[in-house]
Structure 1
């Protein structure tokens, strides 16, 4: 991926190395959002959510720790990707007669205090609609390469673009409508709505890739395959099979590997957000 000469975003908030003391999210939107994130990564939610416990007994500190050159390069990379999504969605929102509100991207280490509650790095990257910020511990990229077998810079960019997709859904009111529907249906039906929401975010990630390539020629050979591999690696069926040895389709919240690949491809091939309406199709 050709990113080194890209614009850097002003919307990156670097909290790496800061100590955080406080209770892990124990109720309300924090639990709901972070539990969904845990299922995204195929981990035990108790690793992420520990009601009525303390994250750290150490005093809080605003002094950032010393970072390695590799960490600084990753921070620089995500800043460029974020800036590129800003350019893409500012342009697309203008075409829709709307104003795009750029989200913040928070870099953290180990634990973070978000608008959706306290979260550990085991949570993985996530978007919090309450404060319109995305959160990532850059060590997740090691997991993406080693645990999920999805290496490559474009795979890493896909992760950011997917979370930006959730921000777009929030701005368009899609997330609120889905949450309202989920409160009135069964758990299985609520999961199905979550799948459609996640697949649309995958499609929106593809929209960014299409626009970025068309206007800035960022892609190199193998980049698309990296993103498709990442999408496939975090499908519900693959994650459940790896962690449990079997799959429970009724519990899926993000879609199968094939579905995630299909909707990312839908976005990158069409470049049209209108083609990402996962809520109006019978075939996911």
Structure 2
């Protein structure tokens, strides 16, 4: 008989593989580092293959681990949905969700669709604004749950990391604005973490640049990039048609990693329910058309 796969082992494996660290995964699941290391050994013994290998950037999946990672995300998403449907009491009301539009199109469609199926009596109000606007709104009590780029001041609220990955340059698939010098950038305002990361990377690489266009929305930046008037910065996910990811082979320096975090209002059952659905959606990799790029 084939060995049964414990969802707890798979959940810890996904967190280790995504974060590159047993310590970070242990903090997420509330276990000791040695306990998570033991889980990884049990999973590898059950499957008969090494799943993780240590490299210069921490633990990374082997070929078998990469294959498992994609399927473990899907399995955990289904597992958590089943448990939520049978264990969660009926909840009704109104919940206010804040998110940068960069994340809304990538993750939220499947998350919100699943939440609506489980909690049909809950009305979700979605506010799309930059992280620098969303966090003050949350601290003023105008939002119940918000996603944001980690690194901004949360005003004392305890953040929860949902996703971690490198930022990437994004340019036109048919035009070569990335070859122009000074490099024309299409980004948000000066307080934007992505803009600061781009400027710092270009400065270190000695690449001259100028701001060609500023927009607080991803739709605005993508429109200008599609026109071939500049390059922007985005998540390491497959960009919309007409755009492509750029990198060192295009003469652009590597960008740092980004963490997407979440804060929620304590003591509000409807906010807890939405936060749990968001957490499960990110854990399962439910990125819809925003698949992680190769």
TMscore range, shorter length: under 0.3
TM-score (norm 2): 0.21
Structure having the larger proportion of residues in helix: 1
Q: TM-score, normalised by structure 1?
A: 0.22
